Structure 1
Amino acid sequence: MTKPQNYYIYILVLISVIALVSFLSSPYFKIHSIKINSLSVLSETEVRKSIEQYRGVNIWLVDTHEVRERLLVDRYIKNAIVRKELPDTLNINIQEHIPLARININGKYFTFTSRGYILEKGSLNARLDVPEIKGMKFNYTDDRVLFGPSLEKIVQALEEIDIDTRARIRLINKSQDRLIAYIGHNYRVYLGSSDKVIYKLKILESILYKIDEENLKVDYIDLSIVRKPVIRLKK
């Protein structure tokens, strides 16, 4: 190959590289859309706060690992999968920690998951309505609630009912080995001992649906005896 031919090849390669770099750095590849999927507790607005800075950045310059790490700062985010979708989109799938209940520690509310992972400290209102638990033994570390035997049973029972039912239970209190649940500020549910409490809360879940369907005015519910649930209506 002659020198003039080599020269033309070098020029052609250089022009191609310049054209490619110009194309890849063009506004065509600036991020215009950030899609956030699979949220049930957090709002899109909350999630976007930590990653909105990537809007308008060239998609080739965005480190998806860095985006993920920024998202995981929020204790409610258990995992995040960040994908680039050419030419201008970040697609993010979020896996959340789901709050289960809360306890009062030295005057501060601690909201935690079914595994005891603490999501919020000191907040009066959790991001999702959950029951407050009283009268049961526990310990705690900086990021975990360590359940005593009674609390462990209640946690297992709450995990078996749906989020909407949990949200309606304002408080579960244990006093003298007897459990009482409070449905909002409306009425009490007498649960008796912690024996078969999983079944009792499942029964309560069904009863609450029936109460809503028939618009019943309830005085109290007694589930102390699993096989003989009592619903006392207001006169």
Structure 2
Amino acid sequence: MKKTTRVERKKRRKRIFFNVILLILITTILITFALNSDLFNISMINIEGNNKLSKDIIENASSIIKGENIFKVNLRNGEKSIKKLSYIKDVKIERKLPKTININITEREAVVQIKNISSYLLVDIEGYVLDFKEDKEEKLPIINGFNINVLPSENIFEIEHGQELKDLINDEKNIEIIRNFSEINLETDDNINIILNNGIVVAFGPLDDVKYKLRYLDEILKDIEKKQISVKMIIMNKGEKPIIVTNN
């Protein structure tokens, strides 16, 4: 193999240096052009996945402005700002060159409403307070009788028996059963009464072993429906076996 001479090595280093300088120069020109050209000014902001929050609210929260250069937008800051909105669970902001910003939203969904003095707190499956309403939401189960304190910094409710109540709602299978409930009432510390959408009253007992008791209640209700039994009350807090009180 032919050994390179000192002169050849020097020429090679000069070529590499020149190429690096040229690359830096071209990159600088392209960046300067991209940051200052009207070609990359935002003309469209697409927002998808939102149902509760309007596009205007989300767009304003993002601080992204039409006419702004698309490369000057701080996507991470925009995502952080949108996530501060109560109904937002997740958000992804992406650039679509040359002029479009795409904002993809995943919203939280209220699963129960908690009565708090004269208002109703709409709460999702993770225990986040999504909204305060003066009037009840007809399609959501109402939880009554709990002393509630909302943590403003985290937007999460704190209540007496809070963990037990969160265990009640923090499960997809539980929620499917709870959708049949009209009201969940705390009578005493160790006694919960439930009113179903069909008017049946359930003496549920304390909020312990919630998953098992809800699954058991679900089986009872399915059996009642299958046998077409007219029931006015189900007593689950008097011994191991439930007592079914019929209308006959």
State whether residues 102 and 132 of structure 1, in contact with CA within 8 Å, keep that contact through their aligned partners in structure 2.
yes
Q: Does 1:121 align with 2:128?
A: no
Selected match of 2:186 from 156, 174, 188: 174
In 2, the alpha carbon distance for the partners of 1:163 and 1:198 equals 11
Range 181-190 or range 84-93, more displaced: 84-93
State whether residues 235 and 244 of structure 2, in contact with CA within 8 Å, keep that contact through their aligned partners in structure 1.
yes
In 1, the alpha carbon distance for the partners of 2:91 and 2:84 equals 11
Alignment TM-score, normalising by the size of structure 1? 0.64
In 1, the alpha carbon distance for the partners of 2:98 and 2:247 equals 63
> Aligned residue for 1:84?
95
Q: Does 1:132 align with 2:132?
A: no
- Shift of the 80–216 alpha-carbon distance from structure 1 to 2, 3 Å rule, reads farther
> Which amino acid in 1 is paired with 2:144?
K
State whether residues 183 and 196 of structure 2, in contact with CA within 8 Å, keep that contact through their aligned partners in structure 1.
yes
Q: Where does 1:93-112 land on structure 2 (aligned, <5 Å)?
A: 93-112=104-123
> Aligned residue for 1:198?
211
Q: Where does 1:211-222 land on structure 2 (aligned, <5 Å)?
A: 218-222=231-235
- How many residues are matched? 213
> Aligned residue for 1:145?
157
- Shift of the 155–224 alpha-carbon distance from structure 1 to 2, 3 Å rule, reads same
Structure of higher CA gyration radius: 2
**Superposition deviation, residue 180 in structure 1:** 0.8
Report SS of the residue matched to 1:110. Answer: strand
Gaps of 5+ in 2: 1-25
**Superposition deviation, residue 115 in structure 1:** 5.5
- Shift of the 210–66 alpha-carbon distance from structure 1 to 2, 3 Å rule, reads farther
State whether residues 103 and 132 of structure 1, in contact with CA within 8 Å, keep that contact through their aligned partners in structure 2.
yes
> Which amino acid in 2 is paired with 1:131?
P
Gaps of 5+ in 1: 1-12
State whether residues 200 and 226 of structure 1, in contact with CA within 8 Å, keep that contact through their aligned partners in structure 2.
no
In 2, the alpha carbon distance for the partners of 1:168 and 1:97 equals 20
State whether residues 78 and 96 of structure 1, in contact with CA within 8 Å, keep that contact through their aligned partners in structure 2.
yes
In 2, the alpha carbon distance for the partners of 1:212 and 1:114 equals 27
In 2, the alpha carbon distance for the partners of 1:137 and 1:69 equals 32
Q: CA offsets per residue over residues 183-220 of structure 1, 9 Å max, x none?
A: 13622122123342331123234455666777765433
Report SS of the residue matched to 1:75. Answer: coil
In 1, the alpha carbon distance for the partners of 2:55 and 2:227 equals 41
